[in-house]
Amino acid sequence: MAPNIAIIGAGPTGLTAAIDLKRSGLSPTVFEARDCLGGQWAYEALPDRPVDVRDPQSLHVYSAMYPKLRANLPKRAMQISDYKLPEQLQLFPDRADILNYIGDTARRAEILPLIHFSTPVKHVEKADGGWRISTNHGEQIFSHVLVASGKDSYPYIPEIDGLESFEGPVTHSQSYRRPNRFEGKRVALIGACVSSEDISLDLSPHASEVYICGTFPPNGHKCYVREGLYGEGHNISQHARPARIEGHTIHLQDGQVLEDVDAIILCTGYIYNFPFLNGAINDVQLNGKAIGPLYLNMFYPSDPTLIFLGLPRFTVHFASIHLQSIFCAKVLSGELKLPSIEQIKQDVATGTCVLQKNPADLEEYHNRVFEYFGQLADMTGAPHLDWKGFLDTVNDHKREYQQDYRQHTVIYDLKE
């Protein structure tokens, strides 16, 4: 009998999984909390009042999109399954183009009838030999559950002495929308990764001063190390990480002091969190900066009918979820068979789960992620595409052009 499969989330991850399952003759049920496709790529308007991370009643935010956001990878890396992005799109597409592409792909693949919109999953638990999913429309039992709800939904809030008492708004990059809300302000961005790189440049024409406070190793996933002031407003500067905060003053770890700071934006990334699984799973970690261990970074070792997709960080996400989805489709359709649970548990005990590696050690993390790509390609018969070489080339391109890398052509032959 064919498995009865639920997919949680209708962003690119859930959509990719649904496409590959459908191609294998399976008909999953997709649950989406919002009334639209796209996950993070579906823009969400927010009220003018800042979403302050210190407010326990703070609004839950689904999307980190802001109006001027553009992809930081070329469009070849944004491809869902084998559905190519339109040729006429710019090399680094903007958010609206990608969202339109996601919708067009869902229609072409005939996935829309499988999706239950405005149906957030409240709880998942073992029941009757399967998994009971509870939503606002009732309960259903499924043989398999694919968790595709994303890894970038719950902001990481660092522990900084005095952050609670800062005398201005403390928001997260997830709720950043329009730079004119910071007109004439001194803004400190905490964290030196992709979001602070892009948001600082968006703020520069509007803010009085933009301070980026973090660690700046020379790689393609952090802000690029720059001396002096830069940006359109010639007002962005780079600084050490904060040590403590007093009033409107930020004391940095190198002894420097930033005074009269009006607002703080945390560009500190996200933690893993799956609240609908609270109480259902106790033998693996499912929240925090690292999670697992999961077999092949996907399967719950004690019961591999529960599967997590799209969790590795700092990778080529769309390519990763395509490989994962192909493998899952082959397993769930019976074309491939997983090892026994005993063997799976022995495997995860060896420390091979990328999700438990420290993403701050980017070289090791990257090596393990792309080894994982090769492993999935071997197991599924998918082509071995040189995604690591692709990403290295793009990162070199970013370092060369830095502030305006999206305006310059990058060429890379994605060879097997």
For residue range 54-103, list pLDDT tens digits in order: 998 888 899 999 999 999 999 999 999 999 999 999 999 999 999 999 99
Supply the CATH classification number for the domain 157-266: 3.50.50.60
Residue type, 251: H
Q: What is the widest separation between alpha-carbon atoms in the chain?
A: 67
Is residue 221's pLDDT more than 60? Answer: no
DSSP result, 304-336:
TTEEE-S---SS-HHHHHHHHHHHHHHHHTTSS
CB atoms within 10 A of CB 317: 19
Is residue 210's pLDDT more than 90? Answer: yes
Supply the CATH classification number for the domain 5-47+68-153+271-406: 3.50.50.60
Structure tokens that stand for 324 in this block:
């994962």
**What local confidence, expressed as pLDDT, does residue 364 receive?**
85
Say what angle helices 95-108 and 12-23 make with each other, to 10 degrees.
Answer: 20
Distance CA 80, CA 319 (A): 8
Q: Indicate the pLDDT class of residue 358, thresholds 50, 70 and 90.
A: confident
Averaged pLDDT for residues 172-193: 96
- For residue 146, what are the β-bridge partners? 7, 307
Which of 334, 354, 124, 163 has the alpha carbon at shortest distance from 242?
163
Percent share of the chain, pLDDT over 70? 98
Question: Cα torsion at 294, 299, 303, 305 (round to 10°)?
Answer: 160
Averaged pLDDT for residues 398-414: 88
Averaged pLDDT for residues 170-196: 95
Distance CA 395, CA 219 (A): 7
Portions of the chain given CATH number 3.50.50.60: 5-47+68-153+271-406, 157-266
Structure tokens that stand for 273 in this block:
């969190």
8 Å CB contact between 277 and 302: no
**What local confidence, expressed as pLDDT, does residue 227 receive?**
85
Pairing assessment for the beta strands 5-8 and 144-147 based on DSSP bridges: parallel
Q: What are the phi and psi torsion angles at 410 (to 5°)?
A: -120, 130
Distance CA 35, CA 403 (A): 36
8 Å CB contact between 385 and 407: no
Distance CA 107, CA 128 (A): 34
413 or 150: which carries more pLDDT confidence?
A: 150
Q: Report pLDDT digits (tens) over 38-50.
A: 999 999 999 888 8
Cα–Cα distances (Å) from 278 to 273, 283, 284, 356, in that order, read 9, 12, 12, 20
Q: What is the mean pLDDT of the chain?
A: 94
**What local confidence, expressed as pLDDT, does residue 56 receive?**
86
Structure tokens that stand for 152 in this block:
């970038």
Is residue 114's pLDDT more than 80? Answer: yes
Distance CA 281, CA 275 (A): 11
Distance CA 287, CA 268 (A): 16
Is residue 258's pLDDT more than 90? Answer: yes
Is residue 217's pLDDT more than 70? Answer: no
Distance CA 365, CA 385 (A): 18
Is residue 220's pLDDT more than 60? Answer: no
**What local confidence, expressed as pLDDT, does residue 360 receive?**
75
Q: Length of the chain in residues, anyone?
A: 416
- For residue 94, what are the β-bridge partners? 70
Q: For 410, which DSSP code? A: -
Is residue 138's pLDDT more than 80? Answer: yes
pTM: 0.95
CB atoms within 10 A of CB 35: 9
Percent share of the chain, pLDDT over 90? 84
Pairing assessment for the beta strands 138-142 and 130-135 based on DSSP bridges: antiparallel
Q: Report pLDDT digits (tens) over 310-333.
A: 999 989 999 999 999 999 999 999
8 Å CB contact between 75 and 93: yes
